[in-house]
Amino acid sequence: MRIRKRELLFFWSLIGILSTLQAKMNDLSRDDFPPGFIFGAGTSAYQVEGAAAEDGRKPSIWDPYTHAGKMLDGSTGDVAADQYHHYKEDVGLMFEMGLDAYRFSISWSRLIPDGRGAINPKGLEYYNALIDELIRHGIEPHITLYHFDFPQSLEDAYGGWLSPQIIEDFRAYAEVCFKEFGDRVKYWTTFNEPNAFPSLAYDIGWWPPERCSYPFGFFGNCSDGNSTVEPYIVGHNLLLSHAAAVEIYREKFQAKQKGFIGITILGIWFVPLTNSSKDISATQRTFDFFNGWFVEPIVHGDYPSSMKEVVGSRLPTFTKQEREKLRGSYDFIGLNHYNTFYVYNLSNHSATRQRDFLRDLGSNLTDVRNGIPIGKRGPSGLPVVPWGMQALLEYFKQSYDNPPIIIYENGYGLKNNESLSLPDALNDTGRLEYLHDYLESLLAAIRNGSNTRGYFVWSMVDAFEFLFGYQIRYGLYYVDFKGANRERHATRSAGWYTKFLKGRKYNYKHIDLWKRISVSKEDGIHISTSLSVD
C-alpha cells in the first residue's frame, strides 16, 4: 500500500523522538558502507579558484556585486583560496586523505567568457589540467555546470535567467563541457541548488542580480523586479535548461562516455511543530515549495499540485513536450543537506492579495518547540540535527521510488576567529562530531534501504561563502587568507576523515585524535598542520 505524502512526512517527523530508528554506531569507518560507495569533498569555482581577472576570464554576476561591497564582510572572490594556482597541491592533499572523488564546478565565464561563442583556450587548459591531475591520482571528477556564477555578459544582454533565451545558451555551454571533458568525467550535475537562488536573487533581492519588488525585498533596493512572479519564471527556465542539457547529453554523449547526469537541490527537512492537521498540511506544502519545486518536475513531469493551487496563474506551465522531456531527466539526484526546521501554519495566508514566494508558503519556520531547540545550534546559528538526514532520505525513498542519491554537500561552518592561534583554529572538534553524527544517520538510512551512492563533505578547503564571505570556515583544510601563498593546514576533522577513509575505526568521543593522529609508518601518512606522504 502506498503511503500518502502527508502521512509519510508526519511519520518521519517522529525520528527525532524515536531514537531507535537511527542505529547508533560508536565506531565508524568507510568499511561500514556498501562496496563502491563514493566518499569525497567539494568546492565551487567562484568560491575557491580566484584568478578572477586572469587568463581571459570575464566577470560573473558575483564580480560586480562583491566589488560594490555587498557582502556582509565586504569581501570578494578575486583570490579566495587561489585554487587556480594551487590545484596540484590541493589534489595532492585529496590523494593523501584518500578521497574517491572531488566535486567542483566550471566557471562559465572562464570557459566561455562572453557566455556564448568562442571558448577561452586558457580556461579550457585549466580545467583539462585539473581533471587530468585528479585522474592521475585516482580521484573521480564530479562536475557541476552551474554553481551561481552566471556570466555578467548574458545578464546584460537579455536579463539572464528571466529570459527563455538562456535555455539555448545553457544547452550550448553544456555541450561544450560534455565534448571537451566527458571522456574523463562520468558524473555531471546541471545546477547546484536551483531551489535556493531564485528566491534569494529574485524575491528578497539579497543575491545578484538583486531583483525584488516592494514590499518584499529584504536586502535589495527593490527598484527593479517583481517578487510575485520572477522567482517562478527563473525556476521554470532553470528546469527547461536542465532538461535541454540532459537531452543533449543523452543524445550525443552518454552512450559513448558512459557517464551519469543529474541535478543537485538544497534538501531541507521539515517537521510539523504540532500534530495538528494544519501544521502537518503546512509542512507538506513547505516541503513541496522548497524541495518538490524541482524534484517533482524531473520525476513526474510537473510542479507539485500544492504549488499550482497556491500560486495559480503566476506559476508558468509546461507544454506536453516539455513535461515529457523533464520526466525522468536524471540518472541520480544530488542533495545538499544542512538544515532541519519545525513548520507551523499561518492562518489566512491565502487571503493576502499580494504574495511572493515566501508568502505563498503560508507557513513559518522555527528551530524551537516548547522552548527546546530541535538541535544544538552551530556557530553559523543553524541547528545541528543529524536525524534529519535520515528522515529526508527515507522520504525520497518512499515518495520518489528510491532514486539514486548522492549527498553532495554536508558540512559544519566555524566562525573565522582571527584571534585564535593556528593550533586552536585547527582543533575543530565541533566539525568532527558533526561529520561523525551525520555519517551515522546516513548509514542508518542506507541500512534501511535508501539508494544513496555517495557522500561529499563541504568543503575541501576554506572558501568564499556566498552567505558569509570569509566570516565562516567550512574547510577540512584551513586556508590562510591573509598569506600571499594561501597556505593550507589540515584541521583535526581532516585527520579524522583520513582515518575514516582508510578503514580505521575511531570513536571521536573516546580517543584524542588530535594528540594521537601520528601513528605509524605503515599508514603511509602523518598529520600535523598538513598531510604528507612518507
Cis peptide before 215 (omega within 30 of 0): yes
149 contacts 61 by C-beta, under 8 angstroms = yes
| Chain position carrying cell 523522538 | 17
The string over 63-86, giving b where at least 16 C-beta atoms fall within 10 Å of a residue's C-beta and e elsewhere, is: bebbeeebbeeebbbbbbbbbbbb
- Cα–Cα distance measured from residue 202 to residue 227, given in angstroms and rounded to the nearest whole number: 6
Give catalytic residues, as residue numbers: 193, 409
Of the candidates 58, 75, 53, 55, the one whose C-alpha atom is nearest the C-alpha of residue 66 is 75
- Cα–Cα distance measured from residue 97 to residue 533, given in angstroms and rounded to the nearest whole number: 10
- Find how far residue 89's CA is from the centre of its chain: 24
Q: Count other C-beta atoms under 10 Å from residue 294's C-beta.
A: 25
Residues 6+ apart with CB under 8 A from 259: 182, 185, 186, 187, 188, 249, 253
The three cell numbers of residue 471 are 566570516
The string over 15-47, giving b where at least 16 C-beta atoms fall within 10 Å of a residue's C-beta and e elsewhere, is: bbeeeebbeebeebbbebbeeebbbbbbbbbbb
Judging by DSSP bridges, how do beta strands 452-458 and 38-42 pair with one another?
parallel
Residues 6+ apart with CB under 8 A from 14: 21
The three cell numbers of residue 444 are 542508518
Residues 6+ apart with CB under 8 A from 229: 314
